[in-house]
Amino acid sequence: MLTFPSVQWPYERVLMRLGLALCIGLLVGLERERRAKEMGMRPFAFAALLGCLGALLGPPFALAALGMLTTLVALVTVDRLRQAQGIELTTSIATLVMGFGGILCGQGHTLTPVAVAVITTALLAWKTPLTGFSLGLTETELRSTILFALLAFVIYPALPEGAVGPWGALEPRTAWLTVLLLAGISFVNYVLWKIYGAQGVEFTGFLGGLVNSTVTVSEMAGKVRDTGGRLADQADRGIMLATAAMLVRNLLLLGLLAPALVSPALLPLGLMLGASVGASWHRHRDCRAESGPRMELGSPFSLLDALRFGLIFLVLQVTGVVAQRLLGQPGVYATALLGGLVSSASAVAALAALAGKGLVTTQLGGSAAMLACLASTLANLPLLFRSRNGSFMRKAGAHTALVLVLGLAGILAQNLLAGRLAWVRVAVPSFTWSLRG
């Protein structure tokens, strides 16, 4: 026989739980009230309080409260059907969610019911934007989203953990996580492209450079050729912004995969980024009123691109381990240089993996990562010949060369500074010890 438990409830604790349940119910009900729904602030507050009281009495009463709430929602739905009115399915589900939220409050939870209430309110309030977004999706975009979810939540957990193979050169999960990271950047980039469009050269160059700066530079040069040189200044600015985007993306990869490599890379990266942004701003002041070249985006996520990036990453990872063990520091620099010519993102990710294993020092890893960025920038120079425009090739080539020179100077200065600091760290204690002696 079901009886009410005879327990002494602490006054302050119970009052706080009831108050929290009341607040989350009123929050969700406020949104429904503003939309002139039959179930507004008071019904939602009562639903949350009912769940809270059930939880305070014990599990059987919590289940009974949910049963009563479900029955009430069912009766309201049947009544609306008899009156030939539409079913308020969203409101009904939100009511049940608030019943569960009230139970969580009664059990003493705080963060979870509040988070559920905020998310529920947001989903109810954002009906129009969410509907427009879903209806605006193309079949390609939907398939890409499903594919990305499959690779992230099905394949990734199935991969073996840790290093495999001789010398522990292969780490399947690390490689796949890096692939997913770059794919995520591409997704964010695609969303920004959809929001802002590809009309302006700033977005065309920068957002294109986030995914593949080489393709963006090639496309810019082709637009100069197709327009007979009319877009030379805009394309020059777009190339500089694509270079800046490549540097920002690689810095983001370093920060996420190997934060220790960020510090030795800041000086050369700052010089390269300053040169590319400065050249872009200079051109922007000269041609701010003109429109930029159009570029079209394909799929937001390509399986072939992901597999290509993953394959390059694995090859560079194995090559980097072998080169480091056989050739030492020159082998790491050679791997970074060759990898940067193919894919700077893959090279930077592979260097981050080497640093994570302790195979390279932070100074060597940071310098090699910047060398990969230099190689990627250097690979843009031959692409300028696609424009068949001498003036454009001289301007864009001069700006690219400036970025290369400053980047190389930054790498040398950073290594020289690191060497001096190391000498100081050794010399100062020795000198102090000699004075004490």
pLDDT in tens, the chain (437 residues): 556 665 567 788 889 999 999 999 999 999 888 888 878 899 999 999 999 999 998 888 999 999 999 998 888 888 888 887 777 788 889 999 999 999 999 999 999 999 999 999 998 888 877 776 666 667 776 777 777 777 777 777 777 776 565 555 566 776 676 677 666 666 665 666 666 554 555 666 777 777 677 777 877 787 788 778 777 887 888 888 888 888 888 888 888 888 888 888 888 888 998 888 888 776 554 444 444 444 454 555 566 666 666 676 667 667 766 776 777 778 888 878 887 777 777 788 878 877 877 778 888 888 888 888 898 888 888 888 888 888 888 888 898 999 999 988 988 888 888 765 544 444 444 434 444 54
DSSP assignment, residue 152? Answer: I
Within a 10 A sphere around the Cβ of 430, how many other Cβ atoms?
Answer: 9
Sign of CA dihedral 75, 81, 84, 90: positive
Distance CA 268, CA 411 (A): 5
CA distance 419 to 252: 26
**The pLDDT value given to residue 136:** 66
Contacts of residue 238, defined as CB under 8 A and 6 or more positions apart, other chains included, come to 201, 202, 204, 205, 208, 216, 220, 292, 293
- Let me know: does 353 contact 319? Beta carbons within 8 Å: no
CA pair distance 92, 50, nearest whole angstrom: 16
Predicted local confidence at residue 287, as pLDDT = 47
Q: Under a CB-based contact definition with an 8 Å cutoff, are residues 404 and 377 in contact?
A: yes
Q: What is the pLDDT, as a whole number, of residue 427? A: 41
72: tokens are: 């009430």
Q: Give the CA distances from residue 149 to residues 131, 184, 273, 286, in Å, rounded to whole numbers and listed in that order.
A: 21, 11, 33, 44
Residue 334 is predicted with a pLDDT of 83
What whole-number distance in Å separates Cα of residue 323 and Cα of residue 331? 5
Answer whether 0.85 is exceeded by the pTM: no
Residue 227: exposed, middle, or buried by beta-carbon count in 10 A (0-12, 13-18, 19+)?
middle
Task: Check if the beta carbon of residue 49 is closer than 8 Å to that of residue 15.
Answer: no
Partner residues linked to 170 by β-bridges: 164
Q: What is the dihedral of CA 87, 90, 92, 94, to 10 degrees?
A: -170
d(CA 100, CA 394): 67
d(CA 336, CA 371): 6
C-beta separation of 104 from 85 below 8 A: no
Burial of 290 (0-12, 13-18, 19+ CB in 10 A): exposed
Q: What is d(CA 33, CA 121) in angstroms, rounded to the nearest whole number?
A: 12
What per-residue confidence (pLDDT) applies to 190?
A: 66
